[in-house]
Amino acid sequence: MKFTTTLLSVIALGASSVLATALPEGVTLVPRRPSMNVRRSARKTNPRLPVSDTLDIQGTKNSSHVQYSSNWAGAVLIGSGYKSVRGTITVPTPQMPPGGSSGTQYAASAWVGLDGDTCQTAILQTGVDFYVQGTSVSFDAWYEWYPDYAYTFSGFAISAGDSITMTATATSTSSGSVTIVNNTKGKSVTHSFSGESADLCETNAEWIVEDFEENGSLVPFADFGTVTFTGCQVTTTSGGTLTASGATILDIQQNGQVLTDCSDSGSSVTCTYV
């Protein structure tokens, strides 16, 4: 969940907010600004919809066992001692949703993260945004320790069809790192966090497609086609590994209509725009 910030508030965060490591040559970090390619806001935690709102919903294939959110679709594994979460996606080509306008920019995001569902204090996350306006599409990669703002890995090239591996790792409840690897282009980028004021609980691991916020409102949601997270893996404090098996499945419901259809098969999580 991301919050978009104004330019002035980004400047106020200062350079000390951006501590990057292992950046490839030519790649820099910039705070998110409200521009076409950098519109991310600090994400809010996942607001589940009341049970009464999940009855008799149009357009869902699996309403008997899925839970609903206004902005998150995918899978949330709930437990304890989660230290790292990983997943790989193929970047989709976003499209204007049915009935949309070519003058409107639509967006969606795919990310992996720790906490933010049953744990509401913080989220350590990293992912990729997809944008479409008319026939123009664009992408960016970002990282965030909510409730601080999300930041863009500037200069990290992403194209539709690229294979992207995302990893978020907690080294303590207030420190950690994220890494995004573009397997297709052979490039990677990493950001490290330390001394964060909002502590993780290490009780949630997520593979999410999101309709994120900008200036306090959800952005117009893009038809992202299908996003599949493969190689879904969680490592624990005991050194064990888990998959997405047994995770809670979420679909996005807005204005009484379900917009996604998600499922998991253990090592993979698939979400389709419907």
CA 70/CA 104 separation, integer angstroms:
20
The candidate with the shortest Cα–Cα distance to 202, out of 177, 173, 174, is: 173
Identify any residues that bridge with 237 across adjacent strands, giving them in sequence order. none
Active site residue 210: yes
CA 53/CA 40 separation, integer angstroms:
28
- In order of 21, 49, 116, 137, 267, the CA distances from 28 in angstroms are 10, 38, 27, 22, 33
CA dihedral 217, 133, 27, 212 (to 10 degrees): 20
Residues 6 or more apart whose CB falls under 8 angstroms from that of 198 comprise 121, 122, 145, 146, 147, 148, 174
Annotated catalytic residue, options 196, 210, 213, 214: 210
Q: Would you tell me how many other CB atoms lie within 10 Å of the CB of residue 222?
A: 26
Identify any residues that bridge with 135 across adjacent strands, giving them in sequence order. none
Q: Which residues are catalytic?
A: 210
